């Protein structure tokens, strides 16, 4: 309606201009009628032609402006605008995907804060309107940028999109996968959290770009390593799948888990970076859970003239922490029985020697 009104007003103004411009051309009344007719009429025609031409140009300009406005409107409607949000109104995703915030071991975070402070936020975060809190938002991805904006008390640049829970975790997983900035253990716990929330495994695989075998390994590691230990270690970006799988195997016993929980309370552990924290626990578990294997060795003893020469009489082997003594075939069975009967005496002699040292 406004466009039609503006067009009528401009047309009215154009015709009023024609009347004003043509009036002076009719003033010379002294000329003969035939001359007046001959001279005035062409002037009117020229004035009318100019007015129509001007009117056409004006209408063409109006049409172009209308078309440009229409295209601009379509552009805005078909795209997503970046808006500024108060970080206090933006919450994290309902699915945790990072461990660095808990462990304080995100080495690149300070650099990100300084970059945003100096150059502004270059990449917006993605949020959705909070499903339960009016006027609040929930982050799909961009958690580190959100934390940085909070740190420097600056509005966060964001794209607001209506997302379902499934769409949110797909966007979150895809963005993290494409940026390749989540460590193995972060992806493993992200997968576990999604499964525990009731999302189908196939959907989780799509979100993290995993095949079935990878998905199984992720869930096995996440189930075997206590969350307390993982949070204490942090993302450990340099520790890949093979070492985490071995780490999970070492933690199967209650003694191993107790050793890990004790290690994370020590001051040297807290002072180390995330990768070093992993290595401290890993090495401790190797020492406590896997005893040093004793190389098989022959026990040599001279048996006198009763046997031909000096030959081995037994072999000692270490098998999963057990010491196995095997007598050679040429040793009489009675001797083995005799040794068995003397074991208590031998143990007492050994203990006596140990206490004297």
Give pLDDT tens digits for 271-284.
Answer: 999 999 999 999 99
Whether 123 has a pLDDT exceeding 50, the answer reads: yes
Q: 80-182 has which fold?
A: 3.90.1530
pTM over 0.85: no
Q: How many percent of the chain have pLDDT more than 70?
A: 63
Whether 187 has a pLDDT exceeding 50, the answer reads: yes
Whether 112 has a pLDDT exceeding 60, the answer reads: yes
Domain segments of the chain as ranges: 2-78, 80-182, 211-290, 297-356
pLDDT band for position 337 (50/70/90)? Answer: confident
Helix axes 333-341, 343-356, angle to 10 degrees: 50
At 149 the pLDDT is: 94
Determine which of 98-112, 146-160, 315-329 has the lowest per-residue pLDDT on average. Answer: 98-112
| Phi then psi dihedrals of residue 111, to 5 deg | -65, -40
Tens-digit pLDDT profile for residues 141-162: 888 899 899 999 999 999 999 9
> Collapsing DSSP states into helix, strand and coil, what is residue 15?
helix
Strand-strand pairing, 137-141 and 82-85: unpaired
Query: Ramachandran region of residue 321, left (φ > 0), alpha (ψ -120 to 50) or beta?
Result: left
pLDDT band for position 302 (50/70/90)? Answer: very low
Q: How far is CA 210 from the centre of its chain?
A: 15
What CA–CA distance (Å, rounded) separates 197 from 168? 13
Whether 312 has a pLDDT exceeding 90, the answer reads: no
What CA–CA distance (Å, rounded) separates 64 from 105? 57
At 61 the pLDDT is: 54
Cα→Cα distances 288→8, 140, 223, 274, 282, Å:
92, 42, 22, 22, 10
pLDDT band for position 306 (50/70/90)? Answer: very low
Whether 75 has a pLDDT exceeding 80, the answer reads: no
Average pLDDT over residues 177-188: 77
What CA–CA distance (Å, rounded) separates 80 from 238? 37
Q: How many percent of the chain have pLDDT more than 90?
A: 32
Question: With contact defined as beta carbons under 8 Å apart, do 277 and 269 qualify?
Answer: yes
b vs e for 335-348, b when ≥16 Cβ sit within 10 Å of the residue's Cβ? eeeeeeeeeeeeee
Whether 268 has a pLDDT exceeding 60, the answer reads: yes
Mean pLDDT rounded to a whole number for the chain: 75
Alpha-carbon dihedral sign for residues 45, 46, 47, 51: positive
């Amino acid at each position: 309606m406004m466009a039609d009104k503006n067009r009528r007003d401009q047309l009215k103004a154009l015709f009023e201009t024609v009347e004003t411009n043509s009036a002076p051309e009719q003033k010379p009344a002294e000329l003969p009628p035939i001359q007046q007719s001959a001279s005035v009429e062409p002037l009117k025609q020229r004035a009318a032609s100019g007015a129509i031409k001007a009117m056409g140009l004006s209408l063409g300009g109006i049409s172009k402006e209308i078309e440009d406005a229409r295209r601009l409107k379509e552009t805005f409607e078909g795209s997503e605008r970046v808006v500024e949000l108060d970080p206090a109104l933006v919450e994290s995703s309902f699915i945790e995907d990072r461990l660095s915030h808990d462990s304080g071991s995100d080495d690149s975070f300070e650099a990100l804060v300084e970059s945003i402070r100096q150059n502004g936020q270059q990449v917006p975060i993605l949020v959705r309107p909070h499903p339960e809190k009016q006027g609040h938002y929930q982050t799909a991805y961009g958690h580190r940028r959100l934390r940085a904006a909070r740190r420097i008390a600056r509005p966060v640049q964001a794209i607001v999109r209506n997302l379902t829970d499934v769409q949110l975790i797909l966007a979150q997983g895809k963005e993290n996968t494409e940026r390749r900035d989540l460590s193995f253990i972060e992806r493993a716990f992200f997968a576990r959290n999604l499964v525990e929330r009731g999302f189908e495994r196939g959907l989780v695989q799509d979100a993290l770009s995993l095949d079935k075998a990878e998905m199984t390994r992720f869930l096995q590691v996440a189930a075997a390593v206590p969350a307390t230990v993982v949070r204490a270690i942090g993302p450990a970006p340099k520790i890949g799948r093979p070492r985490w799988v071995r780490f999970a195997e070492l933690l199967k016993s209650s003694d191993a888990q107790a050793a890990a929980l004790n290690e994370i309370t020590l001051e040297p552990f807290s002072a180390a970076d995330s990768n070093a924290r992993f290595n401290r626990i890993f090495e401790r578990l190797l020492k406590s859970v896997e005893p040093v294997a004793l190389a098989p060795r022959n026990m040599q003893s001279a048996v006198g003239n009763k046997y031909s020469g000096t030959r081995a009489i037994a072999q000692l082997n270490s098998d999963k922490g057990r010491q196995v003594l095997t007598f050679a075939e040429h040793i009489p069975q009675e001797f083995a029985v005799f040794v068995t009967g003397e074991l208590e005496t031998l143990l007492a002699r050994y203990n006596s020697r140990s206490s004297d040292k």
